[in-house]
Amino acid sequence: TSFGFKEVPEEEKSKLVGNVFTSVSSNYDLMNDMMSAGLHRLWKDRLGRLKLTRASLQPNTPWLILILLFVNVFSRLVSKLHPFPGMKHLDVAGGTGDVAFRVLESINSVSRRAMQHGLAETEEETQIYICDINPNMLNVGKKRAIERGLGENHCLHWIEGDAEALSFDDGSMDGYTIAFGIRNVTRIEKALAEAYRVLKRGGRFLCLELSHVELPIFKQLYDYYSFSVIPAMGELVAGDRESYKYLVESIRRFPNQEAFARMIVDTGFQKVEYENLVGGVVAIHSGLKL
């Protein structure tokens, strides 16, 4: 189905993506306030002990309202990463810091457990690099790091950069994550090749992305939410219907779960697999560089 959207030429895509995230970052708090208002109680009931906070919501993904009702996708991503003390991790398109904060939390809890069991801590210091093309989004993340008391944390490094041309050395990372980011990259193959290049042998690639829903009734509800509710919300909150329409369109254009898995295999990754969450609203793809 085309849903009446026109093709976006490659050169326009980068500009559109820039506009979306500039618009989104400046309306970040308002958008979150709006979206959390009515659903606050529901989240609490549903998520119980998962400790979902308003600050853990994403700026451009009203889809997350839907997803977070069922499952905490970031925790799922991080549990698949198996973070460890001393690791060098790169989170691409990570402006908001959400993934990086969770990786750090997870590493700290591994360290605490190791110490409780009298196991020596690694000498090497954990390094988490948060790379994003948009400085406004990096500022959102830095601000949130300060709010979390992580402003002076030496493990976190905020770096402006493009997923398609990373500034990191070959074979320098133990892990690579990209959450709700690869869909916005102009040449996905280039971003995948860069992920492969910067990972060490044995390094793990993980990608969390909005994907394709095929379940009949759920698909229709989801389409209504995407094509009617989201653009209306974008207009109301950010005064920017087009950017939010673009976000919906970019999800539809993104390769489906199987096709994306094949792209990851073609890059050279092994043991490639994916997991659908919430019926495919979101999928986590993983691969190893062996």
Annotated binding-site residues for S-adenosyl-L-methionine read 96, 132, 162-163
Per CB under 6 A, does 243 bind ligand SAM?
Answer: no
Q: Following CA atoms 93, 163, 187, 279 in sequence, which dihedral angle do they give, to the nearest 10 degrees?
A: -30
Cβ-based nearer residue to ligand SAM, 107 or 185: 185
User: Angle formed by the axes of helices 241-253 and 230-238, to 10°?
Assistant: 150
Is 92 a binding residue for ligand SAM by CB under 6 A? The answer is yes
Q: State the burial class of residue 2 (Cβ atoms within 10 Å of its Cβ: 0-12, 13-18, 19+).
A: exposed
Contacting residue, 35, 128, 185, 248, with ligand SAM by CB under 6 A = 185
* 104 touches ligand SAM (CB under 6 A): no
User: In terms of CB distance, is 95 or 287 closer to ligand SAM?
Assistant: 95
Q: Which tokens go with 112?
A: 């605490």
Can you tell me whether residue 240 is helix, strand or coil?
Answer: coil
Token pair, residue 255, equals 């390769």
**Residue 164's CB: how many other CB atoms inside 10 A?**
17
Binding map of ligand SAM across residues 143-182, x = CB under 6 A, - = no contact: -------------------xxx--------------xxx-
- Token pair 């700026």 is found at 59
For residue 132, state whether it binds ligand SAM (rule: CB under 6 A): yes
17 token code pair? 């993506």
Could you tell me the smallest distance in angstroms from the CB atom of residue 116 to ligand SAM? Answer: 31
Q: Is residue 94 part of the contact set for ligand SAM (CB under 6 A)?
A: yes
277 sits near ligand SAM (criterion: CB under 6 A):
no
Give the one residue of 27, 134, 211, 257 binding ligand SAM; rule: CB under 6 A.
Answer: 134
- 284 in Cβ contact with 76 (< 8 Å): yes
Q: Is 250 in the site for ligand SAM (CB under 6 A)?
A: no
Is there binding between residue 98 and ligand SAM (CB under 6 A)?
yes
Across the beta sheet with 88-92, the strand order is: 156-160, 127-132, 88-92, 173-179, 199-210, 282-288, 270-277
Task: State the residues that interact with ligand SAM by CB under 6 A.
Answer: 17, 21, 58, 60-61, 92-96, 98-99, 132-134, 137, 162-164, 179-181, 184-185
